[in-house]
Structure 1
Amino acid sequence: MAYNKYAPAVSLNGFIFILGGAYARATTIYDPDKGNIKAGPNMNHSRQFCSAVVLDGKIYCTGGIVSSEGPVLGNMETFDPCTNTWTLLQSLPCPLFRHGCVVIKKYIQSG
């Protein structure tokens, strides 16, 4: 299991997903009803200091930094629990890390 320092967490379908972290591409899934933790599929990039939101039943993870030396990421990826896969998406307007992310009227706002 990955070391989850500098990793965001979101809730989806009754589970808590911890995403990335220090030098990690990991998806860690916590089931609070059963009290167990399991590894999910890896993201496409290592992401620490990234941000994440849930929109329309999927998780979106934005930006982050690969390691303490960089690079800062200017993209996002989405996790689909139906297929259990991460998909790399379009680029963000600029690279971001240590940023917030919210959903406003079905649009992801990051910065």
Structure 2
Amino acid sequence: MGGAYARATTIYDPDKGNIKAGPNMNHSRQFCSAAILDGKIYATGGIVSSEGPALGNMETFDPCTNTWTLLQNLPCPLFRHGCVVIKKYIQSG
């Protein structure tokens, strides 16, 4: 997902062994981080281009609806960071 100046999503289905294009994210996210919680992928932060700006938001991909949804802002912009799930909380920084 994402990449240098990209909003693209690529979906790999291990059961079928195929790769297909998914829906675009709401923002280009180079150097973002992601975690999975309750069957959804959460992409946090990132940088729009090599010159910025860093993103202070996150979005979630729901494979059931095949859509990305923009979520609330993070406390501060982040890029080149880690992201983990601890219990039911996403920790990013």
User: TM (normalized to structure 1)?
Assistant: 0.81
Give identity over the alignment, percent.
94
- Counterpart Cα distance in 2 of 1:65 and 1:29: 22
Unpaired stretches in structure 2, ≥5 consecutive residues:
none
User: TM (normalized to structure 2)?
Assistant: 0.96
SS at structure 1 position matched to 2:78 = coil
Deviation, 1:81, is: 1.0
Unpaired stretches in structure 1, ≥5 consecutive residues:
1-18
- Counterpart Cα distance in 2 of 1:97 and 1:28: 21
Decide which of 64, 83, 92 is 2:65's aligned counterpart.
Answer: 83
- Counterpart Cα distance in 2 of 1:83 and 1:32: 19
Deviation, 1:105, is: 1.0
- Counterpart Cα distance in 2 of 1:108 and 1:33: 27
Deviation, 1:31, is: 2.1
The alignment covers a number of residue pairs equal to 93
Runs of 4+ residues over 4 Å off in structure 1: none
Deviations 1:54-88 (A, max 9, x none): 00111100000000011100000001111110000
- Counterpart Cα distance in 1 of 2:73 and 2:33: 15
SS at structure 1 position matched to 2:55 = coil
